Structure 1
Amino acid sequence: MKSFAVIGCGRFGSSVAKTLYKLGYDVLAIDYSEEVTQNIADYVTKAVTVSSFDENVLREVGVANCDVVIVGIGSDIEASVITTLAVKELGVGYILCKAGSEIQEKILYKIGANKVITPEKEMGMKIANNLVSENILDKIDLDPNYTIVEIGIPEIWVGKTLAELEIRKRYLLNVVATKKDDELNIVPNPNEILEKNTAILLIGKNEDLQKFENSLKN
C-alpha cells in the first residue's frame, strides 16, 4: 500500500491528508505550526511539527520513506520551491505540489514536480464545464489525452441497463463505476436497471468524451 506525506497542512493540505487517511492509507502530516499538527493528529497516521522544511529535517521525520509527497505550500513561492527541491533530493518517486499562480506552476514543473495543482484555476475550469455541460458532475484529467468524468444519467436512460446503452460500442468509452446515494460500485452489473439520480464514471479519450457530451445535448 502506498504511503503519503503532506507538507504544509493548510486547508488544501489538511483536506488531502484527511481524505487519504480516510481511504485507508498511511499519511504523515508535516507543518511548522504545532497548533495545526495537533488539530490534524487524530485524522492521519502521524503528525509532526518541524522548524523548517529543509532536506535534513524532512529526512529525519521519514519523508524519504514515502511513496508520494504532497507539497501543500501555495502562497509562499520560495518555500514551495525549496521544499520541492528538498523532497526531490530525497529521491521520492512522485511529488505533487500546490501552486498559487501559473508562474509558480511552471517553476515547480521545471524543478521536478510530477504534478502541480492550481486549485482556483481548476475550480474555475470545473465550474465552467459544469455550466455548459449540465450532466457533468466531476472531471479528472489523467493526462493530456485521457479523462475520467462523472455524469448524472439523463432522464432517457432511467429504466435502462448499461448493456442496453452500449456505451463502449457507441461512444468508445469504458464505464468504470456507478454511483448512487454517494455509494460507489466499482463492479457495475451490466444488467442492472439504472435509477433516477444515478451517476456513472466514464474513462476515455478527450475527443470521444466530447462527442459523448455533445450527444447528450441533442
Structure 2
Amino acid sequence: MIKKQFVVIGLGRFGSTICKELFLQGHEVLAIDQLPENIHKVSKYASHVVVADAIDEDALNSLGLRNFDHAIIAIGEKIQPSILCTLILKEMGIKKVWVKAQNEQHEKVLEKIGADRVIHPEKEMGIRIANQLNSERIIDYIELSKEYSIIELVASNKVSSQTIENLDIRAKYGCTLLAIKNGEDINISPSSKDTIYEGDILIVMGQNNDLKRFEVQGL
C-alpha cells in the first residue's frame, strides 16, 4: 500500500471517524480543529494534531499543507468557515479537497469554488440504508450518479450452480458483474466460466433501472 498524507480539518463525529480510519490504514494524518477537546479525542489516531482556526490562512500555511496529497474539510454546522477553508486550500494547490456539505446550496457554492468532491454523509447513508430496507437481497448500495450505482446482491437458488456465461447478465440486463464474494474469498473480475452458488454476494454495476430489473427477474 502506498502511504499517503492526509489533513483532516474539523474533528466532529464525521471528521474524527475519517481521521481514525485513515490512520489505522497506515497513512500519515494531520488532524486540525480549533477546540482542544476535539484534538485530545483523536490524538491516538493521528500522526500530528494541531489546534488551529480553519480560516487562519497564515496558520494553515505555517503547517505546510501544500505538501499534503489530500484534504478533508469536515467542519460542523457553520457554512462560512467551510467555504473559506476550501478557498484557502485550493489556492495553496492541494491536489484533492473533499468537503462535507450541510445542504444543496452549500454544495453548489463548494462546487463553484473548486471542491473536488462534496460529501453529504447523512444523505449518502440514508440512500444506502433505504435501498437495503427496500430489498432483502441488497446487502450494500453505492450511488455513483443519479442514474448509475453499484450494489451487492445475494445470489438465490435460482442462479445457483450456473456459470456467468450461462446467466449472460450483461446482455440480458445491461449490468456488469464486478466481483463475487464467498465468505472471506473474493473473485475480482470473474471470467465467463466461473460458477455462482446460492449465498454468494454479487457486486454488480449498472443503470438503476437495469439493476432493479436484474434483482427482480435475474435472481
TM-score interval, smaller chain: 0.7 to 0.9
- 2:202 is paired with a residue of what secondary structure? strand
- 1:70 is paired with a residue of what secondary structure? strand
Query: Residue type matched to 1:215 in 2?
Result: Q
Give the aligned CA root-mean-square deviation in angstroms: 2.7
Query: Residue type matched to 1:109 in 2?
Result: E
Q: Which runs of 5+ in 2 are unaligned?
A: none
How far 1:68 moved relative to its partner? 1.9
TM-score computed with the length of structure 2 as normaliser? 0.81
Give the distance between the partners of 1:196 and 1:38, measured in 2 at CA.
48
**% identical equivalent positions:** 39
Asked if the contact 1:152/1:200 (under 8 Å) is kept, the reply is yes
Cα 1:159–1:18 change in 2 (3 A) is farther
- 1:113 is paired with a residue of what secondary structure? coil
Give the distance between the partners of 2:211 and 2:142, measured in 1 at CA.
12
Cα 1:89–1:212 change in 2 (3 A) is same
How far 1:214 moved relative to its partner? 4.0
Cα 1:26–1:194 change in 2 (3 A) is farther
TM-score computed with the length of structure 1 as normaliser? 0.81
Query: Residue type matched to 1:48 in 2?
Result: V
Structure 2 equivalent of residue 10 of structure 1: 12
Larger Rg, first or second structure (1 or 2): 2
Asked if the contact 1:33/1:49 (under 8 Å) is kept, the reply is no
How far 1:4 moved relative to its partner? 2.2
1:51 is the counterpart of 2:52: yes
Give the distance between the partners of 1:63 and 1:154, measured in 2 at CA.
50
How far 1:186 moved relative to its partner? 5.2
Query: Residue type matched to 2:128 in 1?
Result: K
Structure 1 equivalent of residue 177 of structure 2: 175
| Deviation string, structure 1 residues 56-75 (Cα, Å, up to 9, x no partner) | 32232232122221111131
Structure 2 equivalent of residue 77 of structure 1: 79
Structure 2 equivalent of residue 187 of structure 1: 188
Among 99, 105, 109, the residue aligned to 1:103: 105
